[in-house]
């Protein structure tokens, strides 16, 4: 339930749906817009947004979220928050590729924001797919033993731990995951793991993996909805609680930029 004084993801979504400036703080302008909307739709005009109001408002939220991202506005917003030093062309290209994939896949704003934040963190802000660092010997831990078995690698010391080390935006790892991702995308990732470094393929792997719970068994829908978002707990989709608060704050910044860039 959102009301005067509330803050958070539901308020940001509410403001976006009603055409109020999105800042995540339920103030007097947001309350006025809510009451006007409730009166127009013959709801109880109390300025409090509960299940009944959301039931009527949700299609409107989905409609505004389906708009194309105004890239000029989006990048201008990010320059105020996560990229205060500006962008290099590689970062711009990486972000544009991700937004293209999210738009073509009809991914909602909250889900898109968390995947952008995950990419921002996992790639050390480069916004480009990367390969997990380390020598061949370092990846022996993925080659034999219990960890190798869990990743779907063979029990023999045949180098598959190194071959199928982390690639992409979210470090796809292990034979089983490469097979699953390759089948899903229709590409030969087992034969050529470096295909996971193609930005479009890397984006597809991240989308399917986070939506379907490939990495830890946890999925985006476990933590993020149409107008709700527990960005802190959502870190469990990828890597337990590592840097969960930092990434959550970055997700909020991406979400604000997306909503403002969708009008």
What percentage of the chain carries pLDDT values higher than 70? Answer: 100
Segments in the chain forming alpha helices (H): 9-18, 28-40, 51-65, 71-79, 89-104, 109-122, 145-150, 160-163, 175-185, 199-212, 244-261
Quickly state the pLDDT bin for 153 (edges 50, 70, 90): confident
Average pLDDT, the chain: 96
Give the number of other Cβ atoms within 10 Å of residue 240's Cβ.
Answer: 11
The pLDDT tens digits of the residues spanning 130-152 come to 999 887 777 878 777 787 778 78
For the cut 80, the answer to whether the pLDDT of residue 42 exceeds it is: yes
Note the pLDDT of residue 154: 77
Q: How far is Cα 58 from Cα 108, in angstroms, rounded to an integer?
A: 12
Q: What angle do CA 45, 47, 50 make, to 5 degrees?
A: 95
Give tens-digit pLDDT for 197-221.
999 999 999 999 999 999 999 999 9
**Residue-wise pLDDT tens digits, 94-134:** 999 999 999 999 999 999 999 999 999 999 999 999 999 88
Give residue-wise pLDDT tens across range 222-245: 999 999 999 999 999 999 999 999
Residues 6+ apart with CB under 8 A from 169: 118, 119, 122, 123, 129, 130, 202, 203, 205, 206
Residue 143's pLDDT is what? Answer: 77
Mean pLDDT of the region 177-199: 97
pLDDT at residue 35 tops 90: yes
The mean per-residue pLDDT over the stretch 78-98 comes to: 98
Predicted local confidence at residue 148, as pLDDT:
74
Domain ranges of the chain: 6-66, 71-129+205-262, 130-197
- Which carries the bigger pLDDT value, residue 126 or residue 162? 126
Is 6-66 assigned to CATH 1.10.101? Answer: yes
Counting Cα atoms < 13 Å in the Cβ hemisphere of 67 gives 17
Cα separation of 239 and 241, whole Å?
Answer: 6
Instruction: Report, as an integer, the average pLDDT of 29-45.
Output: 99
Q: What's the rounded mean pLDDT across residues 157-165?
A: 86
Element (H, E) at 167: strand 167-168
What is the rounded CA–CA span in Å between residue 238 and residue 257? 23
Q: Check if the beta carbon of residue 161 is closer than 8 Å to that of residue 152.
A: no
Which homologous superfamily does the CATH classification assign to the domain defined by 130-197?
Answer: Endochitinase, domain 2 (3.30.20.10)
Tokens, residue 3: 């009301």
The answer, yes or no, to whether residue 11 has pLDDT greater than 80, is yes
Confidence class of residue 1 from pLDDT cuts 50, 70 and 90? very high
Buried/exposed code over 193-223 (b: 16+ C-beta within 10 A; e: otherwise): bebbbbbebbbbbbbbbbbeebbeebbbeeb
Residue 156's pLDDT band (cuts 50, 70, 90): confident
Beta bridge partners of 7: 25
Say if residues 98 and 77 touch (Cβ distance below 8 Å). no
């Amino acid at each position: 339930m959102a009301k005067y004084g509330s803050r958070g993801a539901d308020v940001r979504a509410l403001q976006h749906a009603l055409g109020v400036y999105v800042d995540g703080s339920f103030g007097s302008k947001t309350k006025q817009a809510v009451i006007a909307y409730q009166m127009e739709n013959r709801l109880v005009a109390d300025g409090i947004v509960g299940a009944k109001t959301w039931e009527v408002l949700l299609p409107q939220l989905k409609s505004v979220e389906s708009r194309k991202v105004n890239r000029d506005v989006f990048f201008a917003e990010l320059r105020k928050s996560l990229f205060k030093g500006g962008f290099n062309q590689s970062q711009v290209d990486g972000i544009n590729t991700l937004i293209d994939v999210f738009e073509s896949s009809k991914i909602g704003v909250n889900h898109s924001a968390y995947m952008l934040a995950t990419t921002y963190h996992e790639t050390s802000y480069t916004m480009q797919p990367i390969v997990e660092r380390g020598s061949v010997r370092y990846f022996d831990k993925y080659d034999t033993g219990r960890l190798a078995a869990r990743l779907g690698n063979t029990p023999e010391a045949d180098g598959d731990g190194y071959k199928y080390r982390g690639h992409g935006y979210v470090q796809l790892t292990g034979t089983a995951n490469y097979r699953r991702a390759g089948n899903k995308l229709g590409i030969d990732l087992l034969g050529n793991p470096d295909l996971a470094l193609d930005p479009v393929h890397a984006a597809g792997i991240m989308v399917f993996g986070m939506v379907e719970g490939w990495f830890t068994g946890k999925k985006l829908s476990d933590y993020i909805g149409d107008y709700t978002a527990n960005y802190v707990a959502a870190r469990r989709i990828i890597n337990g609680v590592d840097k969960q608060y930092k990434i959550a704050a970055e997700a909020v910044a991406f979400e604000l930029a997306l909503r403002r860039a969708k009008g």
